[in-house]
Structure 1
Amino acid sequence: MRHGVIAATGLLAVLAFAAALLLPWSSLLALYAANADLGVSFLVELRLPRAALALVYGAMLGAAGAAIQALFGNPLASPDLTGTTSGAALGAVVTAYIIGAASSFAMAIGAVFGALASLLLLIGLAGRRAETATLLLAGLAISALAGALTTLALALAPSPFAFYDAYSWLMGSLIDRSLPQLGFAAVPAFVAILWLARLAPALDRLALGEEVADSLGHDLGRLRLQVICLSALGVGACVAICGAIGFIGLVAPIFARRLTGGHAGRAILPAALIGALLLSLADLASRFAPLGRTLPIGVVTALVGAPFFLWLVARMRWGIAR
C-alpha cells in the first residue's frame, strides 16, 4: 500500500510537470499556429526551465528537510526553519551585490557557503539533538539575523536599484529562467539527493540513539558533516537560481514519514517526490492568481505552509499537555 502511494505521488508529480509545461493552452497554441518554430522555442526555452525547476527545487527541499529532521531527531527541523535558505540567500546577495560577482556560478558558491554557515551555527547554538523549543528559537534567530543582513547588504549595494532587482528573487521566483540555469541547479541537487538517500540506513539507526548508531559502525561526525554539506550544496544551488522558498522542506518530510512507518531516513526519497509535487502545484497556483497576476511562488508556499506549521506546533503542544 505504501509503495503504491509513493508511486502515485511520483505519477502526480509527473502530471503536475506536464500541466506546468502546457498550461495555459491558449498562448502556446496561438504561438504555434503563428510560427511553429517560435512555439517550440517558447515551450523549450521558457516553459521547460520553469516547470523542471519546480520539480528539482521541490525535490531538493523535500530530501534536505527529511535528512535534517533525521539528523536533529526533530520533525520541525527544515531548511527554512533552521536558517539554511535564509543563509543561502544572504550568501548569494553578498556575492552578487557587495562583491560584484553576479554570475550563476559565483552566486551558487556564495549561497552554498551561506547555507553551510547557517547549519553549522545552528548546531553550535542548539546542539546535535536539540529539543523543539531550542531548535525553533535558534533557527528563528539565525533566519532573522540572515534576513536583516540581507537587507543591509542590499541597502549598502553600489547599485541604487538593488532592492528592485532582488525583490522577485528574494520572494522566490521560477520565471524567466534558462536551460543553463536549470542545469546549474539540477546537477548539484540530484547529486545531493542521491547521496542523502545513500545515508538513509545510517540516519534510521541514528534515530535509535547515538550509542546504537556508533556501535553499528557509523561514524557520526562524518555522517553529520555529510548531511550538512549535501543539504547546503543542493539548497544553496537552487536558492542561487530561484531565490528562497519556504515550508516545502517542512511539509514534505512529515507526509513522507507517514508512508515509511516513521523512518526518517527512508523518507528522503518519498519526501523528494512529495516536495517536487507540492512546488509544482504551488507554481501552477501562482500562475492562475486573481486579476490575471502572477504571485511570487514563495508567497504561495508561505500562505499554505505557515498555517500547517502553526497547526503542527499546536498539535505537538496538545500532545505534550496530555
Structure 2
Amino acid sequence: MTGERGPDARRSLSPVALNGGLALLLVALAAVSVVWGEKVLDLHAAVGDWLAGRPSVGAIILGQLRLPRTALAVMVGGTLGLCGAVLQGYLRNPLADPGLLGVSGGAALGAVCVFYTVLFQFSALLLPLGGLLGAVVSALVLMVLVGGGGPLVLLLAGAALSSFMAALTALVLDLVPSPYAMFEIAHWLMGSLTDRTPADVLLALPGVVAGCALLAGCGPALDGLSMGEDVAASLGFRLGGLGGVQMRVVLGVAISVGSCVAVAGAIGFVGLVVPHLLRPLAGHRPSRLLWPSFLGGAVLLLLADLMVRLISSQAELNLGVVTALIGAPVFFHRVMLFRKRSMI
C-alpha cells in the first residue's frame, strides 16, 4: 500500500497495542464520567441499590443520569469517529466527515420540525423520533440521488442535500413564532448529553449497532479502493449496486449517525479530526484505522463531556461547542503540517 511507507508508517503501532491503549483510556474516562458529578455518590451503595431496583437518590442519579450520559458519549463519539474514518477511506478525501452526506442535517431538520409543531410537549421521545425520521428520509433521498453513481456522485449529492437541509432548517427557524422555542432549537442544534435518559440510549442503540456493523465490514474493500476503483473491482469487491460497498457505506452512516444526532443533537469535528490524529499511529491502510477511530472518537467525546462539566458554572456549555474548540485547533495544526510537507 502507498500509505505504508514514509515517516508516518515508521511510527505506526501494532493494532493490538493501539486498540488496547485506547480501550484502557476509554475505560478510565468512562469510570471518571460515572463517578464525577455535582453530588458525591457512595458508588458501592448506589450500584447495589440500582441493581436491586431500590429507588434511592444514589441509584436514581447513577441509573437515570450518569450511566446514560456516559453510554451515549461512548456510542455517539465512537460512531462519529468510525463514520469519519470510513468516509475518508471510501471517498479518498481527508476532509470527509459524517455531516458530509446530509444525514445529520436531515436529523436536525426532523427535530426542529418537532420543536416547531410543539409535538415535544406531548412526549419527550417525540424529539429524538423526529430526528430519526428526518435522518431516514434524508438517507432515502440520498440513495435516490446517487443511484448507480460512484464516490464523486455521492460526494456531490451529499453536499447538495446537506445544503438543502440547512436551508430548510433556517426556514423553519425563521418561521418560529416563539423566542423560547427558537432558544430551545438553537440549544439542541449545538449538541448536548445533559439530562439524557435510558430511553434515549435504547432509542439510539439499535441504529448505532446496525450502522457500525455495516461499516466495520467495509475495511478490506476500503483497502482495495485506496489503490483505485479498477484495482478494487479486480480484487472482487462489488462497489456499486445493491449490497455493494457504496450502499453499505451510505446505509451504515445514515442509520448510525442519524440515531446519534436524534438523541444528542449535532456534534461536529469528531469524525473529521479523530482519523487524522490516529492515522500516523495506525498506518494509512483504511482497514487498520476503523476500530481505533471508534475508540478514539469515544475517548474524545468523553473527554469533551468531562470538560463541559468542569468549566460550566450555572449553565452547561453545549458539547458541540467544546468539540469544535478542541477539534478546530487540531485540524489547523494538521493543515500546517501538510503545508510544510508539500513545500519540501
TM-score, with structure 1 as normaliser: 0.85
Q: Which structure has the bigger radius of gyration?
A: 2
Change in CA separation of 1:62 and 1:219 when aligned onto 2, cut-off 3 Å: same
* 8 Å CA contact 1:154, 1:162 repeated in 2: no
Shift of 1:48: 0.9
**Segment drifting more, 56-65 vs 82-91:** 82-91
> For 2:287, what is the secondary structure of its paired residue?
coil
Provide the rounded CA distance (Å) in 2 between the counterparts of 1:194 and 1:29.
37
Q: What are the within-5 Å matches in structure 2 for residues 150-165 of structure 1? A: 150-157=169-176, 161-165=180-184
Taking only aligned residues, the RMSD between alpha carbons, in angstroms, comes to 3.1
* 8 Å CA contact 2:176, 2:182 repeated in 1: no
**Segment drifting more, 160-169 vs 242-251:** 160-169
2:207 aligns to what? 188
Provide the rounded CA distance (Å) in 1 between the counterparts of 2:77 and 2:226.
25
Q: Kindly tell me the number of residue pairs found equivalent between the two proteins.
A: 313
Provide the rounded CA distance (Å) in 2 between the counterparts of 1:174 and 1:24.
14
Change in CA separation of 1:271 and 1:281 when aligned onto 2, cut-off 3 Å: same
After superposition, the C-alpha distances for 1:192-229 in whole angstroms (9 at most, x for unaligned) are 11221111111111111100111111111121111011
The one-letter code of the counterpart of 2:252 is L
Provide the rounded CA distance (Å) in 1 between the counterparts of 2:144 and 2:343.
32
> For 1:238, what is the secondary structure of its paired residue?
helix
**Segment drifting more, 95-104 vs 293-302:** 95-104
> For 1:15, what is the secondary structure of its paired residue?
helix
> For 1:254, what is the secondary structure of its paired residue?
helix
TM-score, with structure 2 as normaliser: 0.80
* 8 Å CA contact 1:71, 1:129 repeated in 2: no
Change in CA separation of 1:90 and 1:115 when aligned onto 2, cut-off 3 Å: farther
- State yes or no: 1:112 paired with 2:124: no
> For 1:299, what is the secondary structure of its paired residue?
helix
Percent identity reads 42
Q: What are the within-5 Å matches in structure 2 for residues 30-179 of structure 1? A: 37-80=56-99, 83-94=102-113, 97=116, 100=119, 102-114=126-138, 117=141, 128-129=151-152, 143=162, 145-157=164-176, 161-179=180-198
- State yes or no: 1:208 paired with 2:227: yes
Change in CA separation of 1:144 and 1:262 when aligned onto 2, cut-off 3 Å: same
**Segment drifting more, 281-290 vs 36-45:** 36-45
The one-letter code of the counterpart of 1:219 is R
Shift of 1:142: 6.0
* 8 Å CA contact 1:113, 1:232 repeated in 2: no
> For 1:174, what is the secondary structure of its paired residue?
coil
* 8 Å CA contact 1:188, 1:233 repeated in 2: yes
The one-letter code of the counterpart of 1:239 is V
Q: What are the within-5 Å matches in structure 2 for residues 194-273 of structure 1? A: 194-221=213-240, 222-273=244-295
Change in CA separation of 1:115 and 1:180 when aligned onto 2, cut-off 3 Å: same
- State yes or no: 1:24 paired with 2:37: yes
Provide the rounded CA distance (Å) in 1 between the counterparts of 2:102 and 2:338.
21
2:297 aligns to what? 275
Provide the rounded CA distance (Å) in 1 between the counterparts of 2:312 and 2:22.
28
After superposition, the C-alpha distances for 1:164-212 in whole angstroms (9 at most, x for unaligned) are 2223211101011110111111221122112211111111111111001
* 8 Å CA contact 1:253, 1:267 repeated in 2: yes
* 8 Å CA contact 1:17, 1:280 repeated in 2: yes
The one-letter code of the counterpart of 2:321 is V
Provide the rounded CA distance (Å) in 1 between the counterparts of 2:324 and 2:157.
20
After superposition, the C-alpha distances for 1:135-171 in whole angstroms (9 at most, x for unaligned) are 7x99777655533431221332466632122232111
The one-letter code of the counterpart of 1:288 is L
> For 1:89, what is the secondary structure of its paired residue?
helix
Change in CA separation of 1:197 and 1:315 when aligned onto 2, cut-off 3 Å: same
Change in CA separation of 1:120 and 1:58 when aligned onto 2, cut-off 3 Å: farther
Provide the rounded CA distance (Å) in 2 between the counterparts of 1:85 and 1:318.
33
Where do 5+ consecutive residues of structure 2 fail to align?
Answer: 1-12, 47-53, 121-125
**Segment drifting more, 74-83 vs 276-285:** 74-83
Provide the rounded CA distance (Å) in 1 between the counterparts of 2:140 and 2:301.
23
Change in CA separation of 1:235 and 1:315 when aligned onto 2, cut-off 3 Å: same
Where do 5+ consecutive residues of structure 1 fail to align?
Answer: none
After superposition, the C-alpha distances for 1:218-253 in whole angstroms (9 at most, x for unaligned) are 111121111011101100011011100001101222
Change in CA separation of 1:237 and 1:162 when aligned onto 2, cut-off 3 Å: same
* 8 Å CA contact 1:172, 1:244 repeated in 2: yes
Change in CA separation of 1:165 and 1:201 when aligned onto 2, cut-off 3 Å: same
